[in-house]
Chains A and B, each alone.
Chain A
Amino acid sequence: QTVVTQEPSLTVSPGGTVSLTCACTTGPVTSGSYPNWFQQEPGQAPRSLIYSTNNKHSWTPARFSGSLLGGKAALTLSAVQPEDEADYYCLLSCDGAWVFGGGTKLTVL
């Protein structure tokens, strides 16, 4: 069974840069895994940020970017704002099914 792993928690200072990663237990993440990234604030529905590795939605702030890095998918936040404190989830396509990572709790401190 495919398991997608993310850092459970990360802390970043306001104005700093942080990268969240997403790995797959069955092998390297590639563009064919179509990595997606989502942000969820407490009590809210998730919001889509990135699709197909590095494509932004019209509402995605410019400081968010997606990439592939060392066999993993990565979400990089630059010039982090206090309002970026949230849970972040990645999503990968694995053998025709979607699998979410366990999520990363990002603290801005």
Chain B
Amino acid sequence: EVQLVESGGGLVQPGGSLRLSCEASGFTFSSYWMNWVRQAPGKGLEWVANIKEDESEKGYVDSVKGRFTTSRDNAKNSLYLQMNSLRAEDTAVYYCVRGTPSPGLDYWGQGILVTVSS
């Protein structure tokens, strides 16, 4: 059974940093693109970032470029999102999502809440 479990969320002050983790199980993690998607309270979904199997390619939505960095450790079946210079508008539930071989997304984690507030 594919499972994606996010951790590392919480309350952080504006300008602060937070590192999210996503632990994967039930599939060969090193064979899949991985994504981060977020959802602000009461709002729609927003794709945030993705990373290729071997980290050779990464993509980010414009609003987080230069502030967020995604990485992975295939030996630990783990995906990470380092978030710096956090702003109130980064407040959201962050989901870890597996990429499909045909471009797309399939399995989602349960999500983790990040709140940026003083």
Using a CB–CB distance below 8 Å, which chain A residues touch chain B? Answer: 1, 34, 36, 38, 40, 45-48, 51-52, 55, 57, 87, 89, 91, 93, 96-103
Binds A, one of B14-22, B24-32, B76-84, B98-106: B98-106
- The answer for the CA separation of A91 and B110 in the assembled complex, in Å, is 19
- The answer for the CA separation of A13 and B36 in the assembled complex, in Å, is 35
- The answer for the CA separation of A87 and B45 in the assembled complex, in Å, is 11
A46 CB contacts on chain B under 8 angstroms? 37, 45, 95, 108
A103 CB contacts on chain B under 8 angstroms? 44-45
Inter-chain contact total with CB atoms closer than 8 Å: 64
Known: A89-B45, A96-B59. Contact between A48 and B108, CB under 8 A? yes
- The answer for the CA separation of A57 and B103 in the assembled complex, in Å, is 13
Within residues 37 to 78 of chain B, which ones have a CB less than 8 A from any CB in chain A? 37, 44-47, 50, 59, 61-62
B59 CB contacts on chain A under 8 angstroms? 96-98
A interface SS class: strand
Q: Report the nearest B residue to A50, measured CB to CB.
A: B104
Q: Is the CB of B61 within 8 A of A97?
A: yes
Using a CB–CB distance below 8 Å, which chain B residues touch chain A? Answer: 35, 37, 44-47, 50, 59, 61-62, 95, 100, 102-111
- The answer for the CA separation of A102 and B43 in the assembled complex, in Å, is 8
- The answer for the CA separation of A96 and B62 in the assembled complex, in Å, is 12
A48 CB contacts on chain B under 8 angstroms? 104-108
16 extra interchain contacts, Cβ-Cβ under 8 A, other than A1-B62, A97-B59, A97-B61?
Answer: A36-B104, A36-B105, A38-B105, A46-B95, A46-B108, A47-B108, A48-B104, A51-B104, A52-B103, A57-B106, A87-B44, A93-B103, A97-B47, A100-B44, A100-B45, A101-B44
